[in-house]
């Protein structure tokens, strides 16, 4: 979003509006931006250059390698951390992005959905790949583990709550506009076509057992 030209403050506010406890830029500062850079480099080494987002790589390289902004731990990241006073967004972020969109032309609903859908889509894949086998674990883990929006009930309850058909339709809209990371998986499409849900499948499986 930042590299697309979405204002940093709008990103942070939209995330909180979506139900996140903190914005993603603030969260990255807490975790350490240089850790993200190391993970990206390891991903490229293990899976190839196509496995990483070029825009993300450009941003992290600028922040970590060029600007030496590692996050809260060295007092400068996406935010500045003065010795006295509150943190403030670093004014240099706009220069790294190299472009700025008109805030009035940006869909806040799209921003909110992008935050929620990208996480829900990954959670659905973990179920399809049997990394997680119980939707309750995915839901509880998402809320308590990484702060997914509590009002949704969790990553998979978000999908079940919207209905797989509606979720898939919206994901396809987001994919058409923002890229393949929002494309629903074959398993989600099948679930939508059959009118099924994650909790419905789990209940049927438990009953059969």
* Structural domains in the chain plus CATH codes: 8-103 (1.10.1040.50), 108-208 (1.10.1040.50)
- Enter the pTM of the model: 0.91
Mean pLDDT, consecutive 10-residue stretches, the chain (209 aa), reads 96 96 95 97 95 94 97 96 94 93 96 97 96 96 93 97 98 96 95 97 90
Alpha helices by DSSP H, listed for the chain, are 8-17, 24-31, 33-47, 54-60, 93-97, 108-128, 135-146, 155-162, 164-178, 186-194, 198-208
pLDDT value, residue 160: 98
């Amino acid at each position: 979003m930042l590299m697309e030209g979405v204002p940093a403050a709008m990103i942070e506010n939209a995330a909180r509006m979506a139900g996140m406890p903190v914005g993603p830029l603030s969260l990255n500062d807490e975790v350490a931006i240089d850790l993200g850079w190391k993970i990206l480099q390891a991903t490229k080494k293990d899976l190839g250059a196509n496995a990483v987002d070029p825009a993300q790589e450009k941003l992290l390289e600028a922040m970590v390698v060029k600007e030496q902004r590692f996050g809260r731990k060295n007092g400068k990241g996406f935010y500045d951390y003065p010795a006295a006073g509150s943190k403030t967004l670093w004014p240099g972020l706009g220069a790294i992005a190299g472009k700025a969109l008109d805030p009035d032309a940006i869909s806040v609903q799209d921003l909110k959905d992008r935050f929620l859908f990208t996480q829900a889509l990954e959670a659905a894949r973990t179920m399809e790949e049997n990394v997680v086998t119980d939707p309750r674990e995915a839901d509880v883990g998402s809320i308590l583990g990484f702060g997914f929006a509590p009002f949704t009930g969790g990553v998979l309850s978000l999908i079940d709550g919207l209905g797989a058909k509606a979720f898939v339709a919206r994901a396809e809209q987001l994919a058409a506009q923002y890229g393949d990371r929002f494309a629903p998986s074959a398993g989600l499409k099948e679930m939508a076509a059959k009118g099924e849900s994650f909790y419905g499948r789990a209940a049927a499986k438990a009953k059969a057992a």
